[in-house]
Structure 1
Amino acid sequence: MDYFDLTPASVPSSNSSGSSNSTGRGRGPPGHNPTQLQHALISLADGQDDHATPVSTPLDGPGVTTSISTAFHPSLSIDDANPDVVLVSVDGVHFYTHRHRLLAISSNRMGNLLPSPGAVVSPPLLAVVPVPHPSEVVNVLLHIIYGLSCAQYLPTLETVEAAVDSLSLLYGVSVAALAAPGMPLFTLIHSFAPVRPLDAYALAAHHAMEDLAVTISSHLLAYNLARLPDTAAEKMGPIYLKRLFLLHQSRIVALRNILFKPPAVHLPVTGCGQENQQMMMRAWALAVAQLVWDVLPSVSTSALQALLEPIGASMNCPLCIAALQCRVQEVVYEWSAVKRTI
């Protein structure tokens, strides 16, 4: 994650015009000057995206800076509420969040880091809570909780997995409910499917993200399951592992059943009798045998056409050629209709 460093001169003093708390932008953590913090962030607002990378602003004295996320900053108002909980990552980045949002999505008060909803804190303070994750993970974790896209940060799959695992195992969040089609988490994990389909599928399977696992499974049709690592098999679990194997097996069986049906024969005509048609049948059987021997469940319809259409190159009978072309089109149609997902 990138950072922007603000020099002390860039932070307005507490005596400057409009520096009172009437801005309604939220409070800084205990021991910090909230007016300086608010003005520092407001001065960046015109040039920074709401979900930009963290900034560093000097709050603790000369030479000391506090890194603050500009996606989750003190001025972030959600549901007409200002931030009241600051999550501090292990590398010192401060994320300003909302207690009611965290409690609403967590079944264990964020790993018992937060008081119960009925607890009364007097006087009300901005709670500062350290969390055992680097800022990259906390950033993704909070975007998931708030239902926001974090694709602009280009997080790695390892970072996304760490955030998802933490939400599920530590903070009592049902990540499967947050990974429904169309939601940011679904889109984020699915973006890894073209380049890392096995890891993305294992992550979705591990957390029972059904719709996501089904969608990603189509990217694994070309994967050789004989080379499946034990770690990936263990992560996805027996149910989703079995479904993946059954997908491969069912498509191979379906393709063989489709191909084993030869082209139709016609009544003997001048120049093309039964012997000539038997030659076409043998040519079809030979091509099919070569194809099904090492075919992958991912074989495309265009590849099937390229392998079957040359059978008619040596044919002179227009009826045989027409029967062959008709059968190839039937193969293409039937194969395209076979299920491609678990």
Structure 2
Amino acid sequence: MSTTFYPREDHPSDLIIISADNVFFSVHKRILLLKTNNFFGGLLQVEDDVILNIFLLVVSEASEVFNLVLHAFYDFDPTNYKPTLDQVAEMLNKLPQYGLPLSAVITHGKPMYNLILGMSLTKPLDIYALVAQHRLEPLAVEVSHHLLATPLHNLTDEHCLSMGPIYLRRLTFLHLGRTERLKKLLRDPPSGHRPTMQCDTVDQKHKLMALWKEATGELCWEASASTPVSLFHAVLSPLVDKLNCEECKTSTREKIRKLIVDWTMVKTTI
């Protein structure tokens, strides 16, 4: 007997569904028919606005998968069952067969949306490929944020085939676009300052610009879509101590601050 869908006196069920591995689910025809667009895969029928007298159904899915299907129909949170990626993937395939459009249940704020998004924290690439396969756009966008630290060479042929050319291109462009944008930000040196007796244009070029170019060259070599701002501090902040001119120091600090702000504003999703 299901631990979620079991007979209850306060909310009596009128239908029992048995999974392929003989788990009993006590459910309500009214709820299923309210959500389905094909009479629950044709298993429930209505004539003259009257639900036919069906009390027992047998389905071909294993209990773990069918349990997720019912949770989707009821908008229940299945997190405590700790579903696997394969089970969630099978659920997404089954829901349209039972007449529940994915767009109706995998929407922001709903339990299934939150479940899949939560799984992306540990398996972002697999989840992105899965939601892209089903064209779940809002979820794919959110999941893509967790892929910034995943190198593109981690993509397998299976991932590419599953997500398709459109979502593969968008993921690739996210990585390449952020990397190129970072390199462009790094190439712009501090603005410098007006020449003074202690630090003229030549001094700034030979000291400030040279130090900046050397430090940012290292950063450009290691630049990626997920480069953390802490690395900017670690590599660039020591430049200030190598400068003798206070105006050069101020200019460098301002450039580092602006670099961090600009980098945090670069798009982080597809």
The TM tier, using the shorter chain, reads over 0.9
User: Radius of gyration: which is bigger?
Assistant: 1
In 1, Cα distance between equivalents of 2:47 and 2:213: 71
Aligned position for 2:99:
172
Whether contact under 8 Å (2:237, 2:256) holds in the other structure is yes
% same residue:
35
Q: 1:250 aligns with which of 163, 177, 193?
A: 177
Indicate the structure whose relative CO is greater, using CA pairs within 8 Å and at least 6 residues apart: 2
Q: 1:108 aligns with which of 38, 54, 57?
A: 38
The answer on 1:263 being equivalent to 2:190 is yes
In 2, Cα distance between equivalents of 1:129 and 1:322: 75
Note closer, same or farther for the CA distance 1:105–1:120 as it changes in structure 2 (3 Å cut).
closer
The answer on 1:132 being equivalent to 2:60 is yes
- Greater alpha carbon shift after TM alignment, 86-95 vs 103-112: 103-112
The answer on 1:153 being equivalent to 2:153 is no
**Unaligned runs of at least 5 residues, structure 1:** 1-67
The answer on 1:74 being equivalent to 2:7 is yes
Whether contact under 8 Å (1:103, 1:117) holds in the other structure is no
Aligned position for 1:86:
16
Q: What's the TM-score, normalizing by structure 1?
A: 0.74
Residue identity matched to 2:79? A
The answer on 1:338 being equivalent to 2:250 is no
Aligned position for 2:202:
275
1:23-81: CA deviations, max 9, x gaps? xxxxxxxxxxxxxxxxxxxxxxxxxxxxxxxxxxxxxxxxxxxxx11311122766xxx
Whether contact under 8 Å (2:45, 2:51) holds in the other structure is no
The Cα shift of 1:132 comes to: 1.4
Q: What's the TM-score, normalizing by structure 2?
A: 0.92
The Cα shift of 1:267 comes to: 2.5
The answer on 1:162 being equivalent to 2:80 is no
The Cα shift of 1:196 comes to: 0.4
1:144-196: CA deviations, max 9, x gaps? 1110111112212221221122113x223211221111110111001111110
The Cα shift of 1:298 comes to: 0.9
Residue identity matched to 1:175? L
Instruction: Report SS of the residue matched to 2:16.
Output: strand
RMSD, aligned α-carbons: 1.9
1:130-152: CA deviations, max 9, x gaps? 11111111111111111011111
- Greater alpha carbon shift after TM alignment, 255-264 vs 317-326: 255-264
**Unaligned runs of at least 5 residues, structure 2:** none
The runs of 4+ residues in structure 1 deviating greater than 6 Å are none
Aligned position for 1:241:
168
In 2, Cα distance between equivalents of 1:330 and 1:106: 53
